[in-house]
Amino acid sequence: MCGIVGYIGHRDSQNILIEGLKKLEYRGYDSAGIAVYTDKGLQVKKAKGRLAVLEDQLTGAPLSGSIGIGHTRWATHGKPSDVNSHPHTNVQKKISVVHNGIIENYIQLKEELIAKGYVFESETDTEVIAHLVSDLYEGDIVAAVRKAVKRIHGAYGLGVLAENEPDKLVAVRMHSPLIIGVGENENFIASDIPAILEYTREVYILNDGEMAVLTKDGVTLTDLEGGPVSRDTYRVDWDMQTAEKGGFDHFMLKEIYEQPKAYRDTMNPRIDGGRVVLPEVGMTADYIRDIRRVHIVACGTAYHAGLVGKTVIERLTRIPVETDVASEYRYRDPIINKDTLVIVVSQSGETADTLAAMREAKRQGARVLAITNVVGSSVARDADDVIVTLAGPEIAVASTKAYTSQLIAFYLLGLYFAQTLGTVDAGTVSATIDAMEKLPEQVERVLDQADVIKRVSEQIKDVDNLFYIGRGLDYTVVQEGSLKLKEISYIHSEAYAAGELKHGTLALITEGVPVIALATQEALFEKTLSNIVEVKARGARVLGIANEGDAEMAKSVDDVLYIPRTLPLLTPALSVVPLQLLAYYVSLARGNDVDKPRNLAKSVTVE
Ligand code: M6R
């Protein structure tokens, strides 16, 4: 949510900032801006709209200088506009600030500053920081920022630049991700690694309450009191190609097609001799035996992975599991104690709602296991145990390979617990592992049927409403399919437990309404088929998705897609793929920006 880049070094900064912001545009894309220390002093250019609008403005009038900060915005306070775009400056335009997060006490601070005579230009919370730092400035920008952050409450990743001290860049982190890239005679700040990966692989990942002062020649880390912080850099072991489109038209399509690899990468190092090995989970057998309940907490797509996780863990271990939306979890007064294992799931590892839920769970004494795709993320650092999904960077706002890798993580974890508890026999464990090892090749076979999905997407692209139905695990998967379609096609859809339609929603099924029906759960196939027949009888146009060999499906629907057979527990890892493709092709057919859907951002670091 908002992307920050900063540079100090020997090169011209404008290009580094703009190219860095391009890599961060997934974090927010309603406006962008840069501030550069030029031979005319600190200069700012910012513009509403995509980064390309700012780039156009800079083409005729570049900002030249070797220290600068940049920002791409996802609006929280104040609508997208030129004036609300970052960087924000103090009244004299000599201190410039970029910010990711939310300042919760900004109204109170704003009133104080207005009373002192400060004039505000924007509706943002961030502008408060610029004036506050200015108010506290006595010739030392580091000291002023340190004093300012003591006054602000909330979440912030900050980059600050002062015209009077053009040899340094200040960065602070509190609940909003920020990394420092360490180069030779140049250093960087960024919200995420891809922004600086072209220049360096050595990064510091700031912790909450840490500050970095960057000069051309070095980086000093301190806490907010100015006490030294000592830490080794982290070496990034993936390259830019992984974070680029690689011949695909969109990141989302590339990421859908990367799923077989993501499955293998997440699974293979954790399987050995027909058993699951999870050295990163430091739980003793006694601890696992004492778990009385599991809470899975996550948002959006990760929550949908958690719904599958609930079934997986319950079936394999018979431990009761509840899955909660993170933004609700804290407020429902959940029953948590030391026998409760809380599993948080987050691709980015920076989702504010998930982090807040996780902290509450820890405060109440639960052990927290994180499933995340980002090493060194806040979720990864705060959890007791971490299973990293090895899906590689996910750039498209619509999550695909992260979701399926999270499913793989749940299968591994469920089997690992079951091995320890003896709740399933060794034969079942090894048969499940065998079936998991076939999934990558089976996903490829689903991807080979993209033409069926393209055809159906043409029928769907102009409708206003559609329905997804399924039972059991299929119901959890259609919830993900429906979210995917909504977020990138902007078509309203609902996911229903197929048996629930007759209790109300069937009234909405009329001639030609599209229904996507998933029927991959063997034990529920007949029942779901009856529900399909019911919607057909009311005029629905149905795409049925079933297991190979379930020929009955083709007889009952308008279009059919068969997925390769696997164990019922594993089908979500296959059946979600056509739903991802459907959302992609419908979005494409409607001319939407697939990778950057309106109003959204990839990493949601505000509550
Ligand atoms: O990074 P996280 O997994 O914590 O993100 C959670 C949700 O914001 C995310 O899954 C969101 O729902 C996706 N845009 C859905 O495609």
Helical residues (DSSP H) of 507-571, grouped into ranges: 525-537, 552-556
Cβ(397) – ligand 1 distance below 6 Å: yes
Question: For 27-46, what is the mean pLDDT?
Answer: 94
- pLDDT tens, 511-529? 999 999 999 999 999 999 9
Q: Which ligand 1 atom lies nearest to the CA of residue 402?
A: 3
Cβ(377) – ligand 1 distance below 6 Å: no
Predicted confidence (pLDDT) at residue 242 exceeds the cutoff of 80: no
What CATH class does 3-243 carry?
A: alpha beta
Please give the Cα distance from 374 to 391 (Å, whole number): 9
Predicted pLDDT of residue 243? 67
Predicted pLDDT of residue 599? 87
Rg (CA), the chain: 25
Q: Residues 253, 195, 171, 31: is their CA dihedral positive or negative?
A: negative
Question: Within a 10 A sphere around the Cβ of 164, how many other Cβ atoms?
Answer: 12
% of the chain residues with pLDDT over 90: 89
Residue pointed to by tokens 């499933």: 371
Residue 49 in 3-state DSSP?
A: coil
% of the chain residues with pLDDT over 70: 99
Cβ(406) – ligand 1 distance below 6 Å: no
Residue 560 in 3-state DSSP?
A: strand
CA of 533 to the centre of ligand 1 (A): 34
Query: CB-based burial of residue 245 (10 Å sphere; 0-12 exposed, 13-18 middle, 19+ buried)?
Result: middle
Q: Which residues contact 450 (CB under 8 A, 6 or more apart)?
A: 581, 585
Q: Match domain 251-439 to its CATH number in 2.130.10.10, 3.40.50.10490, 3.40.50.2300, 3.20.20.140.
A: 3.40.50.10490
Are 75 and 49 within 8 A, CB to CB?
no
Residue nearest to atom 14 of ligand 1 (CA): 398
Peptide bond into 269 cis (omega under 30): no
Domain assignments of the chain as residue spans, ordered by start: 3-243, 251-439, 450-589
Please give the Cα distance from 441 to 463 (Å, whole number): 34
Are 438 and 567 within 8 A, CB to CB?
no
Please give the CATH number for the structural domain made up of 450-589: 3.40.50.10490
At 607, the pLDDT band (50, 70, 90 cuts) reads: confident
Residue nearest to atom 4 of ligand 1 (CA): 346
Cβ(391) – ligand 1 distance below 6 Å: no
Cβ(165) – ligand 1 distance below 6 Å: no
Residue among 26, 301, 595 whose CB has most ligand 1 atoms within 8 A, to mutate: 301
- pLDDT tens, 489-499? 999 999 999 99
Catalytic residues: 2, 602
CA-nearest of 68, 63, 67, 72 to 4 is: 72
Cβ(371) – ligand 1 distance below 6 Å: no
Are 167 and 215 within 8 A, CB to CB?
yes
Predicted pLDDT of residue 233? 94
- pLDDT tens, 450-506? 999 999 999 999 999 999 999 999 999 999 999 999 999 999 999 999 999 999 999
Q: Which residues contact 502 (CB under 8 A, 6 or more apart)?
A: 531, 534
Cβ(354) – ligand 1 distance below 6 Å: yes
Does the fold of domain 450-589 match that of domain 251-439? yes
Please give the Cα distance from 604 to 181 (Å, whole number): 23
Residue nearest to atom 9 of ligand 1 (CA): 300
- pTM of the predicted protein model: 0.80
CA of 156 to the centre of ligand 1 (A): 20
Q: Which ligand 1 atom lies nearest to the CA of residue 399?
A: 16
Residue nearest to atom 10 of ligand 1 (CA): 301
